Structure 1
Amino acid sequence: MVQSVVPAYRSSGSLEALQELVDVAGQVPHEVARRAGLSVSELHSLRHLMAAPMGPVELARELGVTSAASSGVVDRLVARGHAERRPHADDGRRTEVVITDSGRVEILTRLAPMFAGLAATDAALTDDERAVVERYLRGATAAMRALM
C-alpha cells in the first residue's frame, strides 16, 4: 500500500518495529487510564501537571479541548485528590492547577514499569548504538512532525 504511494518506500524490520512502537504508544494512555480509573484527558492532564502547574486555559490548550471541558477534567482530578486549584503565584486573580502527591504517585506508579524497561533497554546499548538509535528516532520524529 505505502509503496504504491511512495515508490522509494521499502518495508524493513526497523520500519515495522517503528510502526509497532507507534501503535503501542497510541494504546498505552488508554490502557493506563483505564487501569487507574481515569479518562485519557485526566491522565494527560496529570502528565502535563507533573512538569509544572498550569492555568485551566493553558491545560485546555495542551489537551486540545475547550476551557469548559478542561474545567470538568480539573474538577474530577480535584475530587479524586490528584490536583488542587490555587491562586496563581504572580497574579492572584488567576487560578493555577497543581498536581498533588496523590496525583504524582498515581502517574509514577502506573508508568514505573515502562520507564524501568526503557532504561534497561537503553543501558544495554553501546554509546555508538545509542547514537544510531537516537539519529533514527529523531529522523522518524521529524518525518511525523512534518504532518503537523
Structure 2
Amino acid sequence: MLRAAGDTRQALARRLGIGTTDAAAIDLLVSSPAPLGPVELGNRLGITSASATTLVDRLVRAGHLARAPHPSDRRRLVLQVTDHALDEVYAALRPLLDGVERAAAQLSPEQAAATAGFLRAVAEVMREYADSAPTGGEDGASPARTRGRNRVR
C-alpha cells in the first residue's frame, strides 16, 4: 500500500504535468487544517527556503497557487490552492476514485465496516509515525540526510 501510494503521487504529478514535489506541495496545502506560508510549506516538504520560494513561484505562475494575506498577521502571506488546480487534481484523480468506489461496492456491509476500521487504524499508526519523526536541523535537512552528507564513500 505504501509503495502504491508513492506510485500514485508520481502518477498524479505526471497526469498534471508537474513534478512530484509540486504535487506534494498541493497535497499538503489542500490537507492542512491551518493555512501555510512558503516557509512552513518548505519545512514540511523538507526543502530549503530558496527551493520553497522557487516552487511557490512556479506554482503561482502555473495558476495552481495564489498568495493571500495571512488571516491574523498582516506581515505574512499564506498559500491557497486555486479552484483551477483543484479542478485539475480532481479530474486527474477521477479514474482512481472511480476504481476505489468499484472495489468498495464489491464488499458486503460487514466487510466494508471491517475494512474501514482497519484502514482508520493503519492511518492513525502512520500519522503517529510521521508526527514522531525527528525535525530537521537549521537548514531543514532531516537527520538521516545530514548524516550522509559528510560520509566518505
Which TM class, normalised by the smaller chain length? 0.7 to 0.9
- Displacement, 1:111? 0.9
Deviation at 1:143, TM superposition (A): 7.6
Query: CA offset at residue 91 of structure 1?
Result: 1.0
Q: Give the unaligned 5+ runs of structure 1.
A: 1-20
SS at match of 1:42: helix
Higher relative contact order (CA 8 A, sep 6+): 2
Among the aligned pairs, what percent are the same residue? 33
- Would you tell me which structure has more helix in proportion to its own residues? 1
Structure 2 unmatched runs, 5+:
134-153
* Pairing partner for 1:51 from 31, 42, 62: 31
Match of 1:8 in 2: none
User: TM-score normalised to the size of structure 2?
Assistant: 0.71
Runs of 4+ in 1 over 4 A off after TM superposition: 138-141, 143-148
The superposition leaves residues 19-76 of structure 1 with CA deviations (integer Å, 9 ceiling, x where unpaired) of xx33222211112212322011111111222235421122123222222222111111
Q: 1:102 offset after TM fit, Å?
A: 1.4
1:89-121 deviations in whole A, cap 9, x for unaligned? 211100111111111112111111111211222
Letter in 1 for 2:107: L
1:103 to 75, 78, 85: 85
Q: Pairwise mapping of residues 66-145 of structure 1 onto structure 2 (< 5 A)?
A: 66-138=48-120, 140-141=122-123, 142=125
